[in-house]
């Protein structure tokens, strides 16, 4: 009888831990603890149940884009890799969730904006250093991301950026 109870408790603890992974990463993202969020996210992405959710890829986009924009990573190969991973995660998210409802959630809005900012600033830097091809590619990516940004007035009369807007 004890074995059955221990087994039941172990299964419940495992399920509770897995269920909290997305919420814990989301909490760390809200608190801007990006390094911790990345560690938790990388653990979760190894779980098939975790990475089958579109929210997991949106989290990855937001966390990795924020880390790529960090001054410590921005001009390094690590920043390049983080930005590439964020772009791939954003693309995967768009494939998995056609409605893209998470983009209206304030927690997730900075991910695509950080990707846009990263590509724009890297493209501008490439152009100023006369790396024309690299600058062109970066600015092209920034323009693609910009197509999804819509300026709208909020209730206080200020301008806010909102995703997604897909104009055909």
45-100 residue pLDDT tens: 988 889 899 999 999 999 999 999 998 888 899 999 999 999 999 999 989 988 88
* Closest to 83 (Cα-Cα) out of 116, 51, 56: 116
Q: 82-94 burial by CB neighbour count: b if 16+ within 10 A, else e?
A: bbebbbebbebbb
What was the pLDDT predicted at 100? 82
Give the tokens for residue 109: 């809005």
Range 3-25 average pLDDT: 64
Higher pLDDT, 102 or 85: 85
Task: With a cut of 80, say whether residue 157 has pLDDT above it.
Answer: no
pTM attached to this predicted model: 0.76
Among 153, 166, 63, smallest CA distance to 107 is for 63
pLDDT for position 9:
58
Q: Do 163 and 112 meet the contact criterion of CB atoms below 8 Å apart?
A: yes
Where on the phi/psi map is residue 162: left (φ > 0), alpha (ψ -120 to 50), or beta? beta
pLDDT of residue 12: 56
Neighbours of 30 (CB within 10 A): 11
Contact status, residue 165 vs residue 150, Cβ threshold 8 Å: yes
- Which of the pair, 51 or 155, is modelled with greater confidence? 51
- Report the chain's mean pLDDT, rounded to a whole number: 81
- Per-residue pLDDT band for 106 (boundaries 50, 70, 90) equals confident
What's the CA dihedral at 144, 121, 88, 65 to 10 degrees?
-130
| pLDDT at residue 152 in the model | 41
């Amino acid at each position: 009888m004890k074995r059955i109870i221990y087994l039941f408790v172990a299964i419940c603890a495992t399920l509770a831990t897995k269920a909290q992974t997305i919420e814990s990463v989301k909490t760390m993202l809200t608190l801007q603890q990006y390094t911790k969020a990345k560690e938790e996210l990388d653990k979760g992405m190894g779980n098939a149940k975790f990475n089958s959710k579109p929210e997991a890829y949106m989290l990855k986009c937001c966390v990795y884009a924020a880390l790529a924009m960090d001054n410590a990573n921005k001009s390094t190969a690590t920043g390049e890799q983080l930005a590439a991973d964020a772009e791939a995660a954003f693309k995967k998210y768009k494939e998995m969730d056609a409605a893209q409802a998470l983009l209206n959630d304030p927690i997730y809005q900075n991910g695509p904006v950080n990707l846009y900012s990263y590509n724009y600033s890297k493209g501008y830097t490439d152009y100023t250093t006369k790396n024309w091809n690299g600058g062109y590619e970066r600015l092209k990516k920034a323009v693609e991301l910009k197509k999804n940004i819509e300026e709208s007035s909020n209730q206080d009369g200020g301008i806010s950026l909102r995703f997604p807007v897909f104009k055909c």
